[in-house]
Amino acid sequence: MRSSGPGPAVRRWLAPVAAAVTLGLSTGSTAQTPAPASAVQEQVLVDNDTVRVSLLLFPPGAASGEHVGLDPELGIVLEGELTLVTAAGREVLGPGGVRWLPALVPHDARNEGAVPLKLWVVLVKK
């Protein structure tokens, strides 16, 4: 009987994502300048013609600032709480929370909590 697990193409795509979960946000490079404590840190795991997958770390009080993405995006909260502000209002997502944003939707991602926020962001390029 064949396994119902993901096929080879999906496993190749998921491998860097799984590695990042295992390694956390460390890039392994000591030559990087540390980011200010209030800055959002980003580790890009996949960036090609069709998708960009990033792991973001928002210290308490950090925010992305309102911006508009040219591509649709999927956000998945790993730890902490994400406060997402759009024209539709404020939404707070905890661990396991998922939010889809179509392209061209102005939004601000914030960590208004007391603990760091870890967030996967998947940009689906056209």
* pLDDT, tens only, 17-49: 443 333 343 333 334 444 555 699 999 999 999
Instruction: Return the SS3 of 107.
Output: strand
Separation of alpha carbons 45 and 52, rounded Å: 8
Residue 108 has pLDDT above 50, yes or no: yes
Question: Which pair of tokens denotes residue 66?
Answer: 């309102």
CA distance 8 to 1: 17
pLDDT of residue 36: 56
Q: For the chain, what is the domain count? A: 1
Global pTM?
0.71
Domain-embedded: residue 34: no
Q: What is the CATH number of the domain that holds 113?
A: 2.60.120.10
Range of the domain at 13: 8-26+40-124
Instruction: Assess contact for 14 and 90: CB atoms under 8 A.
Output: no
Residues in CB range of 34: below 8 A, 6 or more apart: none
Helix (H) or strand (E) holding 53: strand 51-58
